[in-house]
Amino acid sequence: MKKIIIIMLGLYLLVGCSTPQPEPPKEDPVVNEETPKPEPTPEPEPEPVVETYYSVFTGKEVTQEQRDTRPIMVMIDNQQDARPQANLSKASVVYEMRVEGAFTRYIALFERTKENFLLGPIRSARPNFVTLALQNDAIFVHHGGSTDGNAMIHQYKMDDLDGMILEGKVFFRYKDTKKFAPHNSYVKIEDVYEYQQNRGSSLERTAEGFLFNSEFTLNNGEAVQSVRFNYGGNTHMTEYQYDANTKSYAKLRNKIPVVDELSKQPVLATNLLIQIAPSYIYNGVHRAFENVGEGKGYYLTGGQMIEVLWKKSDNHREPLQFYTLDNQPLKLNVGQTWVNVIDKVSLIDFNY
């Protein structure tokens, strides 16, 4: 019996071992492909650099075109029958000095803004004012001129517009103002620029202007809230009064605020420069100032006053410059500047 079991077990094993086994499933051939790389993330484009431009006459932000365009300088009448004047508040710089007797005139520097605003009333040229226009390489706007004033204009081949020649073209009599000749000659600023451009003259600025503080700065000077001086007695008194709220000085003439002819808003200055220079009379009538050499003066801003120095070479095209007492170039605060030229006869009162 054991023999039979062993034989049968052997036959079973023999049959089991000889049964064919199924072949393993064939695998797909391996394809040697590289794993695709992700697209690189593009780097963000840098923000465009926006350059900022500033006026060399006010320190205010302007366009590049405005910064690079020549200013105009306008002879402004200041006789009693000429007041108030149009748009002095839009000037960048205003100079004032006597021309005869106790009467003063302004020469106001304006920059191009594309706004065609009114300017005037306009009067005749005098040598001191011609020199200021030359220093600023400005387009000079005047209505006539003294003999020596006109001679300087021709000598230096200035770009000027004369109302004696251009009345009815650029200059006009502004009848709405109800002033009478010679106190009613006016222009519009953009008309001046268009006329200058049409005659092929350069509009490229070359003047250096002033230096400005990057932020409103005081000079550790004497606290001065008001200043006044006369040009010929109490009937020709000029005053400036400081307003801490606006950080500016209101200008008064004979105790009457100087206002704009059109808006009736007060004329306000951020910076006041007082230049003290010797004066003299020529032609028996006209007064002029020694504007070559050096001298003393005052700078007022932010309710404070410091003494300054002024210097001017005998080259009419080189600018009048102001310095601190330690001979450093004076920096102004951003805004409108008034420069009053006076002599020792015009007594100055501070904090009156």
Coil, strand, or helix at residue 165? helix
Instruction: Give the helix/strand (H/E) hosting 311.
Output: strand 304-312
In a domain, 334, yes or no: yes
In a domain, 25, yes or no: no
In a domain, 141, yes or no: yes
| Residue 60 to residue 49: CA distance in whole angstroms | 20
Please give the pLDDT value at position 4. Answer: 43
Computed over every residue of the chain, the mean pLDDT equals 90
Q: Note down the domain range covering 131.
A: 53-350
In a domain, 32, yes or no: no
Please give the pLDDT value at position 61. Answer: 97
Strand-pairing partners, residue 256, are 253
Give the count of alpha carbons within 13 A of 125, CB side only.
29
In this predicted structure, the answer to whether residue 233 has a pLDDT above a threshold of 90 is: no
In this predicted structure, the answer to whether residue 18 has a pLDDT above a threshold of 90 is: no
| Residue 167 to residue 184: CA distance in whole angstroms | 12
Instruction: Name the pTM for this structure.
Output: 0.86
Segment 206-221 mean pLDDT: 96
Contacts of 206 (CB under 8 A, 6+ apart): 70, 137
In a domain, 36, yes or no: no
In a domain, 37, yes or no: no
* Kind of pairing between the strands at 268-269 and 279-282: unpaired
In this predicted structure, the answer to whether residue 174 has a pLDDT above a threshold of 80 is: yes
pLDDT band at 26 (very low <50, low <70, confident <90, very high): low
Q: Compute, in degrees rounded to 10, the torsion defined by CA atoms 82, 83, 85, 88.
A: 130
In this predicted structure, the answer to whether residue 254 has a pLDDT above a threshold of 80 is: yes
Please count the structural domains in the chain.
Answer: 1
Please give the pLDDT value at position 302. Answer: 98
Coil, strand, or helix at residue 342? strand
In this predicted structure, the answer to whether residue 7 has a pLDDT above a threshold of 50 is: no
Q: What is the pLDDT of residues 158-169, one digit of tens each?
A: 999 999 999 999
Which has more pLDDT, 16 or 111?
111
Strand-pairing partners, residue 339, are 95, 273
pLDDT band at 19 (very low <50, low <70, confident <90, very high): very low
Instruction: Give the helix/strand (H/E) hosting 133.
Output: helix 127-135
In this predicted structure, the answer to whether residue 24 has a pLDDT above a threshold of 60 is: no
In a domain, 269, yes or no: yes
- Which domain CATH number covers 100? 3.50.90.10
pLDDT band at 1 (very low <50, low <70, confident <90, very high): very low
In a domain, 6, yes or no: no
In this predicted structure, the answer to whether residue 16 has a pLDDT above a threshold of 60 is: no
Q: What is the pLDDT of residues 28-63, one digit of tens each?
A: 555 555 666 777 777 787 777 789 999 999 999 999
| Residue 196 to residue 43: CA distance in whole angstroms | 49
| Residue 132 to residue 288: CA distance in whole angstroms | 13
